[in-house]
Amino acid sequence: MTDREVDERLQRALLDALRDEWEETPADETPLSARQQRRMQAMLRDPNGYCRKKSRPVWKRAARTAASFFLVCTVSLTLLLAVSPGIRAEVLRWAREVRDGGVFYRFAGEDMEPDGLRYTIVKLPDGYVKTDDRTEERGFFRVSYRNDLGQEIVLSCADSAKGVVLEPEGRGPAEDVAFTHLTGRLYPALDPSGTSALVWEDQEEQAWFMIEAPVDRETLEDMAIWVFPELPRYRLSELPAGVVPWETPMQESPSSVHLMYVDENDYFFSLSWSYMRQGSGMGVFSSSGGELHSKDVTVNGMSGQYYWSDDPGESVCVVWVDEEENLMFTLDGMVSKAELLRLAAGVVPVD
Amino acid sequence: MLPIFIGLLEDAEDQRAFAELYQRYYGRMAAVAARYFPEDPQEAEDALHNAFLQVIRHFEKVSSLSCDVLPFWLVSIVKNESITLLRRRRRVVPLEDWSAFEQAAEDGELGARTVAEVIRAMPETYRAALELRFLEERSEREIARALDLSVSAVKSRISRGRALLVKRLQEEGITP
């Protein structure tokens, strides 16, 4: 027997030991603390982004792995969408499917890209605030941020198809750099107090980007990871007494924004909205594993669904779609149905 | 309730797969973590959370596992994240007496009849090192970092653990 075969036997024995342990472990659901709910929500909302925040290297893209065990374990969503009569698809642009204890929405309409090219750095070094943004010409956009010391960060974006070239001037010799799934060119500052520049192309966005900032390479790369299309901002017009937004709205992925509200004790409710592109979607799950129930509702004239589970200790949720803006909203919290729908009706754009 | 936006098609399967994995295995994984921190549910949640981060980091591997094996692989992750956390937060790390364990295994004093039972009776960092090496295929350096041990301590744990198990497999007639 070769060493490799012995190791395979060992592997099997280790798995047998784990199997025994698994079978002895009770399947009872452990209740989640509010803190853990928050963390898991952030992680599940965007595993890629969450992991990127926590560490690098990051989430490995395995979407195209043919041997995905989920293809073995479950019927694929695509297949279900194609053949199952149980799938609601009364509106061609949207499909809603109930399965595996969750509800999945899938957008199948055409992309409705906002006019013009607008991006933002959603995570800036401490002390920087946005001071100016302007579209220089069609296919070229620039936004700047400044801190109390007068130091400036400038993000420039150019539509790849328009042939605009982003090339910084007055910098040291460029070097090739790689960060997450992107590659780019770093142009170091000529002196320690000068600004360095990072230029890269994001083929998914079909755009070139350049960040010029008086920071080190790592900070430049960190900012580059968090360059996302700028999404509209919303807020709740009326809040229950003692409830306040927790930090500022957080754009954790290129297409969705999340805003959490807290009271003096802890988590209260959270509002998210996401710009829908072809192939994107949304899932609603019960965090306690309870059975999900839903009821059609209307929020400010827009159709949606209200969700609750068998577990009375679990938050409730309402999902609705703004077809004109091509945005899907979710609001969930530890409140009554009436209160949740009242809060949802008070979601307004920020001027 | 967990409303989760799924990104563009390229990532949608991954994100959905991860959400389903969470949905399906969260309860048992939480119970495993709770065993290590019976008095401190917050620590158990930290270990569980770190385990899910590991799942994301190694998703390519996770997604290649069959349904028969996946749950046990997840137990291994959450168990080893719990051990890591315990070792980092304990003021006094208990000594693990390998020689005594080896002797007891040889003398049949463990009451363990199968190789799997011997594995379960092993000192925790020995078993963890073996799982990280042979199941998660981590390097010795990575294991050292995860278990807060030196690389040489990891090498010795893998080598001793492997030798004992191979001997036991031979006794059972599983390996020649």
Sign of CA dihedral A36, A42, A46, A51: negative
pLDDT tens for B83-125 read 888 877 765 556 777 888 888 877 777 666 788 888 888 888 8
Contacts of A26 (CB under 8 A, 6+ apart): B31
Mean pLDDT for each 10-residue chunk of chain A (351 residues)?
80 88 77 74 71 41 24 27 35 61 69 65 89 76 92 90 76 79 84 90 80 91 84 87 78 75 73 74 73 89 89 85 84 89 93 72
Query: pTM score, two decimals?
Result: 0.51
Among residues 115-154 of chain A, which lie with CB inside 8 Å of chain B? none
**Interface list for A 235-294 with B (CB within 8 A):** 253-256, 272, 274, 277-287, 289
Q: Which pair of structure tokens corresponds to residue A216?
A: 């080190």
B116/A20 touch (CB, cutoff 8 Å), yes or no: yes
Q: Kindly state the tokens that stand for A275.
A: 């710009």
Assess contact for A11 and B135: CB atoms under 8 A.
Answer: yes
Q: How far does the CA of residue B142 sit from the closest CA of chain A (Å)?
A: 14
Residue B8 has pLDDT above 50, yes or no: no
Task: Tell me how close the Cα of B151 comes to any Cα of chain A, in angstroms.
Answer: 20
Distance CA A142, CA A155 (A): 6
Q: What confidence score (pLDDT) does residue A110 get?
A: 60
Of A7, A27, A308, which is closest to B27 when you measure between CB atoms? A27
pLDDT per position as a tens digit, B18-63: 888 888 888 889 988 988 888 888 889 889 988 988 888 777 777 7
Chain B residues lying within 8 Å of A328, measured CB to CB: 5
Separation in Å, CA of B150 to nearest CA in chain A? 22
Q: Do A60 and B57 touch (CB under 8 A)?
A: yes
A101 Cβ under 8 Å from any chain B Cβ: yes
Residue in A250, A232, A238, A244 with CA at minimum distance from that of residue A347: A238
Contact yes or no for A41 and B4 at CB 8 A:
yes
Q: Is A59 on the interface with B (CB under 8 A)?
A: yes
- What residue has token string 């198990």? B165
Contacts of A50 in chain B (CB under 8 A): 56
Residue A69 and residue B63: Cβ atoms within 8 Å? yes
Task: Quote the pLDDT of residue A58.
Answer: 26
Task: Name the token pair of B22.
Answer: 């969470």
Residues 6+ apart with CB under 8 A from B49: A36, A39, A40, A43
**Per-residue confidence (pLDDT) for residue A77, from 0 to 100:** 31
Check CB contact of B136 with chain A, cutoff 8 Å.
no
Question: Both tokens of residue A123?
Answer: 């995570």
Q: Which two tokens stand for residue A63?
A: 């979407």
Report chain A residues whose CB lies below 8 A from the CB of B71: 22
B68 close to A (CB below 8 A): no
Task: Give contacts of A35 with chain B, Cβ < 8 Å.
Answer: 42, 45
A277/B117 Cβ within 8 A: no
Q: Chain B closest CA to A273's CA: distance in Å?
A: 9
- Helix, strand, coil percentages (3-state) for chain B, rounded to 5, are 75, 5, 25
Inform me whether the pLDDT recorded for B161 exceeds 80: yes
Chain A neighbors of B48, CB-CB under 8 A: 36
ipTM of the complex: 0.84
- Decide if B5 and A282 are in contact by the 8 Å CB cutoff: yes
- Residue B22 and residue A44: Cβ atoms within 8 Å? yes
The answer to whether residue B7 scores a pLDDT higher than 60 is no
CA distance A227 to chain B (A): 16
Nearest residue of B to residue A100 by CA position? B20
- pLDDT, residue A284, reads 81
Question: What pLDDT is attached to residue A338?
Answer: 93
- Is residue A142 within 8 A of residue A133, CB to CB? The reply is yes
Comparing A93 with B165, the larger pLDDT belongs to B165
Amino acid at A98: V
pLDDT at site A86: 37
Q: Which residue has the higher pLDDT, B145 or B112?
A: B145
- Interfacial B residues in 101-120 facing A (CB < 8 Å): 114-117, 119-120
Whether A350 has its CB under 8 Å from any CB of chain B: the answer is no
- Nearest residue on chain B to A32, alpha-carbon basis: B45
State the Cα–Cα distance between residues A333 and B8, nearest whole angstrom.
26
Is B69 an interface residue toward A (CB < 8 Å)? yes
